[in-house]
């Protein structure tokens, strides 16, 4: 079978500009034609609004796969039928030639490596919602909606499909929280990272390892990554692979914290005669050196992929094109992939990049296009406003969140309400999108016929529209939609039921979870259940299901709803029962979280104290974090303050015992230490005693990190390099003597160096 079109974009559409711009490497100064850009943008938008665009060019699309399989309002891609319907939309409505599909990121995480055990990337103790998501991704990768099916569906429609992965994100250790709500641990880490800690970027003290990437200075690391991508790309039959260069975690404290591995240190000293761990040095030279290994990796990967006819591309930082990308979630605080030179000029000249995509900066894309002219490297622009850039001569890649944007920003103009009965499916969808967006008024009677449409996207959007309309007549349709054969439609129905509902809605939602439950549906069902009324009756119903239902999905959905949205004293006893007795760790974690949210309930506090001492890491650590929220203000917790202090300190000490086999041994000190700090002077005194004692180096080390190297939850813990150095000057007293310092470096850090 022929793959998707490879010839590139039509010259009639994408004409090359004759004017030259330039990027001066180093200071990254650009000469940009801002006035011309604004004028062309204004003209393009005007033409589009007047619906007189003469060209009908292709718009390619980036699908951020994991997000689509998490957020129920995004374009559905969780089943063969939903993938085909969504791909039909892209081809029919946007004339898409290439899909950038982030599914490569998901399969790279779950990849089995050689003789390593079957991968379970989910860390014990991971927050239940995160754990369920990762297992949902694992399920989909092995389902009928796997990568091979996705590629085939694209090819059947004459489209290319490039697998997108994140070269600099393979997970990380548990001592970084997911966010403020989920707490510790981070949640996932590739088996390849776990097996090869020696390949991870380290700080200048050889103490901390960076979460996310591998250090590409190691030939063995480069080869392992290359083997992974080639195997996955060939197996899926991707037309190309495309890389993002950021990591999704908050582990970085300052921009150039990591990148001091032995090969870098040795080569830098060979070239410049400076030991970068001990002496001042030129940071630009260091960044460029790391970039040389990046370029070497791309050249090696290009050779390996080319043998199979597979292209490769990269996303380019729109603000600092010679550096790794920012994690979009965090804005411009840090480039979380680390300080590595993105030497795109070399990639263009050596033809190791078949495509470079500017992440939202059209002027940069034009500059890159000039540099790449005649080389075979294609330059593209990612944007959520594609029609503003069509006349710039650059292939445009569009990306959206809410699925209705695929209609509202298309070239189908606003439609009258009567178009709901139009034979053109996309005109029907356009009106539904207008209703959902609040642009068009309608009655439930106008929309109900579309709830049984043959197209699952129409059915889903009809469900969402009925929720927006808010008429009671829509409720029976929405409740029936909970049992549709497609997850996407069930998601749309439960979204609608967040706005309108009946006294039977909670029962119907729970029945649907029992019959059709999966991560996406259960997730949004929890939110919808929280809207059901009367609240007291619903809480009682959920408490019963949480304790007694035979289906763990129903119990977990009920537990999450109660813990996150509806915690109150009337369900406190049920939480205690579940915390002690349920066989499912996720459900017990939610029970611990729920007890943490209930004020002045002594039995709940005691249950949490007892759970802290359990060998079950998930339950133990979630109970620690729940207690950490209560100390200092909950009277029931303050009444047993000595017990809480003893439980927390005992577990902290246990993690420092030689040969401790708990799975939280590398990260448990963080939530326990934070809980001790939350206890005020009493907790700090315990930590300081650990820090000052001279018998157990590991115990001193953990206390030192909690006291002097804090970690924010849900954000970066920003420090200057000078502040970082000052923390290392406060190393525990046990390391005052040179012999003890050497022992610390060898036993706890490996062969770490301290100045």
CB atoms near residue 184 (< 10 Å): 28
Residue 527 vs residue 393, higher pLDDT: 527
Residue 139 in any domain: the answer is: yes
What's the distance, CA 353 to chain centroid?
A: 25
Q: What is the structure's pLDDT at 264?
A: 98
Do the Cβ atoms of 740 and 701 come closer than 8 Å?
no
Q: What is the structure's pLDDT at 332?
A: 64
Do the Cβ atoms of 517 and 557 come closer than 8 Å?
yes
Tell me, yes or no, whether 123 and 213 share the same domain: yes
Give the residue from 210, 162, 168, 213 showing the smallest Cα distance to 317: 168
pTM score: 0.90
pLDDT for residue 17 is more than 80: no
Q: What is the structure's pLDDT at 393?
A: 84
What's the pLDDT band for 390 if we cut at 50, 70, 90?
Answer: confident
Helix crossing, 519-531 with 128-141: angle to 10°?
140
Cβ neighbours for 185, distance < 8 A, ≥ 6 positions apart: 123, 125, 126, 173, 174, 175, 176, 177, 178, 621, 664, 667
Q: What is the structure's pLDDT at 2?
A: 36
Residue 360 in any domain: the answer is: yes
How is residue 339 annotated by DSSP? Answer: S
Handedness of CA 448, 449, 452, 453 (dihedral sign): negative
Cβ neighbours for 678, distance < 8 A, ≥ 6 positions apart: 628, 629, 631, 632
Burial class (CB in 10 A: 0-12, 13-18, 19+), 696: middle
Q: How far is the first Cα of the chain from the last one, in angstroms, to the nearest whole number? A: 61
- Residue 95 Ramachandran class (φ > 0 left, ψ -120 to 50 alpha, else beta): left
Last residue of a domain, one of 674, 706, 721: 674
- Rg (alpha carbons) of the chain, rounded to whole number: 28
Tell me, yes or no, whether 623 and 502 share the same domain: yes
CATH value at residue 387: 3.20.20
**What SS3 state is found at 522?**
helix
Residue 377 in any domain: the answer is: yes
Tell me, yes or no, whether 258 and 210 share the same domain: yes
Cβ neighbours for 38, distance < 8 A, ≥ 6 positions apart: none
Do the Cβ atoms of 326 and 246 come closer than 8 Å?
yes
Q: What are phi and psi of 714, to 5 degrees?
A: 85, 10
Reported as a single tens digit per residue, the pLDDT across 38-94 is 333 343 433 333 333 334 689 999 999 999 999 999 999 999 999 999 999 999 999
Burial class (CB in 10 A: 0-12, 13-18, 19+), 693: middle
**What SS3 state is found at 441?**
coil
Across 118-140, average pLDDT? 87
Handedness of CA 248, 251, 257, 258 (dihedral sign): negative
Reported as a single tens digit per residue, the pLDDT across 446-459 is 999 999 999 999 99
Q: Output b/e per residue, 406-421; b: 16+ Cβ within 10 A.
A: bbbbbebeebeeebbe
Cβ neighbours for 737, distance < 8 A, ≥ 6 positions apart: none
Tell me, yes or no, whether 235 and 253 share the same domain: yes
CATH value at residue 479: 1.25.10.10
Reported as a single tens digit per residue, the pLDDT across 260-270 is 999 999 999 99
Tell me, yes or no, whether 382 and 495 share the same domain: no
Give start and end residues of each alpha helix (H) in 33-123: 34-49, 65-68, 80-94, 103-109
Burial class (CB in 10 A: 0-12, 13-18, 19+), 708: middle
pLDDT for residue 407 is more than 50: yes
**What SS3 state is found at 467?**
helix
Q: What is the structure's pLDDT at 753?
A: 35
Tell me, yes or no, whether 359 and 303 share the same domain: yes
Tell me, yes or no, whether 505 and 387 share the same domain: no
Burial class (CB in 10 A: 0-12, 13-18, 19+), 459: buried
**What SS3 state is found at 560?**
helix
Give start and end residues of each alpha helix (H) in 191-261: 191-195, 219-236
Q: What are phi and psi of 99, to 5 degrees?
A: -110, 130
Across 243-255, average pLDDT? 94
Give the residue from 113, 132, 103 showing the smallest Cα distance to 513: 132
Residue 748 in any domain: the answer is: no
Tell me, yes or no, whether 455 and 511 share the same domain: yes
Reported as a single tens digit per residue, the pLDDT across 293-351 is 999 999 999 999 999 999 999 999 999 999 999 988 766 679 999 999 999 999 999 99
The C-alpha atoms of residue 698 and residue 679 are separated, in whole angstroms, by 22
Cβ neighbours for 364, distance < 8 A, ≥ 6 positions apart: 23, 30, 316, 318, 321, 358
Across 564-574, average pLDDT? 96
Q: What is the structure's pLDDT at 124?
A: 86
The C-alpha atoms of residue 119 and residue 591 are separated, in whole angstroms, by 28
Tell me, yes or no, whether 394 and 494 share the same domain: no
Do the Cβ atoms of 114 and 442 come closer than 8 Å?
no
Burial class (CB in 10 A: 0-12, 13-18, 19+), 563: buried
Residue 740 in any domain: the answer is: no
Last residue of a domain, one of 627, 646, 674: 674
Q: What are phi and psi of 437, to 5 degrees?
A: -85, -5
pLDDT for residue 5 is more than 70: no
**What SS3 state is found at 462?**
helix
Half-sphere exposure of 444 (CA within 13 A, CB side): 16
The C-alpha atoms of residue 499 and residue 481 are separated, in whole angstroms, by 15
Tell me, yes or no, whether 356 and 418 share the same domain: no
The C-alpha atoms of residue 606 and residue 636 are separated, in whole angstroms, by 9
Tell me, yes or no, whether 304 and 423 share the same domain: no
Residue 627 in any domain: the answer is: yes
Q: What is the structure's pLDDT at 599?
A: 94
Between 13-17, 157-161, 585-589, the lowest mean confidence (pLDDT) is in 13-17
Residue 382: in which H helix or E strand, if any?
strand 378-383
pLDDT for residue 134 is more than 60: yes
pLDDT for residue 427 is more than 50: yes
- Residue 621 Ramachandran class (φ > 0 left, ψ -120 to 50 alpha, else beta): alpha
CA distances from 551 to 240, 250, 578 (A): 42, 36, 14
Residue 328: in which H helix or E strand, if any?
none
Residue 435 in any domain: the answer is: yes
What's the pLDDT band for 740 if we cut at 50, 70, 90?
Answer: low
Reported as a single tens digit per residue, the pLDDT across 176-186 is 888 878 889 98
Cis peptide before 54 (omega within 30 of 0): no
Instruction: Return mean pLDDT, the chain.
Output: 89
Helix crossing, 641-655 with 617-630: angle to 10°?
140
Last residue of a domain, one of 626, 648, 674: 674
Q: What is the structure's pLDDT at 22?
A: 30
Across 202-224, average pLDDT? 96
Number of domains in the chain: 2
What's the pLDDT band for 391 if we cut at 50, 70, 90?
Answer: confident
Tell me, yes or no, whether 495 and 623 share the same domain: yes
Give start and end residues of each alpha helix (H) in 324-408: 344-349, 362-372, 405-408
The C-alpha atoms of residue 527 and residue 539 are separated, in whole angstroms, by 13
Question: In the beta sheet, which residues pair with residue 359?
Answer: 382
Across 583-609, average pLDDT? 97
Residue 592 vs residue 714, higher pLDDT: 592
Residue 715 in any domain: the answer is: no
Range of the domain at 35: 23-63+97-407
Across 393-414, average pLDDT? 94
Q: What is the structure's pLDDT at 118?
A: 57
Across 512-519, average pLDDT? 97
């Amino acid at each position: 079978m022929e793959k998707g079109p490879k010839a590139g974009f039509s010259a009639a559409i994408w004409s090359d500009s004759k004017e030259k711009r330039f990027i001066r490497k180093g200071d990254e100064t650009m000469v940009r034609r801002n006035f011309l850009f604004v004028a062309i943008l204004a003209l393009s938008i005007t033409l589009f609004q007047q619906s007189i665009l003469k060209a009908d060019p292709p718009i390619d699309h980036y699908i951020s796969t994991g997000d689509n399989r998490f957020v129920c309002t995004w374009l559905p891609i969780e089943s063969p039928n939903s993938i085909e319907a969504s791909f039909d939309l892209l081809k029919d409505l946007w004339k898409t030639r290439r899909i950038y599909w982030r599914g490569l990121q998901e399969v790279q995480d779950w990849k089995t490596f050689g003789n390593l055990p079957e991968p379970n990337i989910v860390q014990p103790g991971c927050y239940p919602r995160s754990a369920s998501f990762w297992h949902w991704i694992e399920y989909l990768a092995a389902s009928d909606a796997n990568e091979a099916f996705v590629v085939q569906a694209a090819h059947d429609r004459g489209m290319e499909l490039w697998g997108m992965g994140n070269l600099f994100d393979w997970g990380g250790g548990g001592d970084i929280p997911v966010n403020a709500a989920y707490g510790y641990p981070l949640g996932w880490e590739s088996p390849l990272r776990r097996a090869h800690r020696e390949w991870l970027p380290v700080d200048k003290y050889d103490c901390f390892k960076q979460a996310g990437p591998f250090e590409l200075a190691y030939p063995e690391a480069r080869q392992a990554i290359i083997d992974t991508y080639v195997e996955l790309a060939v197996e899926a039959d991707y037309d190309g692979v495309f890389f993002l260069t950021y990591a999704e975690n908050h582990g970085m404290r300052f921009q150039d914290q990591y990148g001091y591995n032995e090969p870098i240190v040795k080569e830098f000293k060979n070239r410049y005669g400076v030991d970068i761990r001990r002496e001042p040095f030129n940071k630009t030279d260091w960044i460029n050196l790391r970039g040389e290994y990046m370029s070497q990796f791309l050249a090696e990967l290009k050779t390996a992929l080319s043998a199979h006819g597979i292209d490769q591309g990269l996303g380019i930082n729109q603000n600092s094109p010679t550096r790794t990308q920012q994690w979009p979630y965090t804005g411009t605080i840090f480039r979380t992939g680390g300080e590595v030179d993105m030497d795109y000029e070399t990639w263009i000249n050596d033809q190791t990049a078949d495509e470079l995509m500017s992440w939202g900066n059209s002027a940069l894309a034009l500059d890159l296009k000039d540099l790449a002219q005649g080389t075979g490297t294609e330059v593209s622009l990612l944007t959520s406003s594609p029609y503003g850039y069509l006349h710039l001569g650059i292939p445009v890649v569009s990306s959206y969140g809410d699925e209705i944007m695929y209609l509202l920003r298309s070239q189908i103009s606003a439609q009258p309400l009567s178009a709901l009965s139009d034979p053109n499916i996309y005109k029907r969808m356009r009106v539904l999108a207008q209703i959902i967006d609040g642009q068009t008024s309608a009655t439930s009677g106008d929309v109900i016929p579309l709830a049984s449409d043959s197209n699952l996207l129409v059915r889903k959007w009809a469900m969402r529209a009925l929720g927006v309309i808010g008429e009671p007549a829509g409720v029976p349709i929405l409740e029936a939609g909970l049992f549709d054969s497609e997850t996407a439609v069930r998601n749309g129905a439960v979204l609608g039921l967040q706005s309108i509902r009946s006294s039977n809605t909670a029962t119907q939602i729970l029945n649907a979870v029992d019959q059709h439950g999966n991560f996406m549906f259960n997730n949004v069902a929890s939110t919808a259940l929280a809207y059901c009324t009367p609240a007291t009756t619903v809480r009682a119903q959920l408490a019963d299901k949480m304790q007694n239902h035979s289906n763990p999905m129903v119990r977990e959905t009920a537990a999450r709803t109660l813990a996150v949205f509806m915690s109150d004293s009337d369900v406190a006893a049920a939480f205690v029962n579940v915390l002690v007795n349920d066989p499912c760790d996720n459900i017990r974690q939610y029970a611990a979280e729920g007890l943490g949210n209930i004020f002045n309930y002594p039995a709940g506090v005691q249950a949490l104290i007892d759970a802290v001492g359990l060998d079950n890491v998930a339950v133990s650590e979630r109970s620690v974090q729940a207690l950490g929220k209560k100390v200092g203000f909950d009277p029931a917790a303050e009444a047993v303050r000595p017990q809480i202090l003893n439980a927390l300190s005992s577990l902290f000490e246990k993690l420092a015992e030689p040969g401790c086999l708990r799975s939280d041994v590398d990260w448990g000190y963080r939530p326990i230490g934070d809980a001790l700090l939350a206890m005020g002077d009493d907790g700090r005194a315990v930590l300081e005693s650990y820090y000052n004692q001279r018998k157990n180096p590991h115990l001193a080390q953990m206390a030192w990190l909690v006291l002097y190297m804090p970690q924010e939850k849900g954000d970066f813990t920003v420090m200057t390099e000078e502040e970082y150095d000052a923390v290392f000057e406060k190393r525990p007293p046990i390391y005052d003597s040179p012999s003890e310092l050497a022992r610390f470096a060898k036993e706890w850090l490996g062969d770490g160096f301290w100045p």
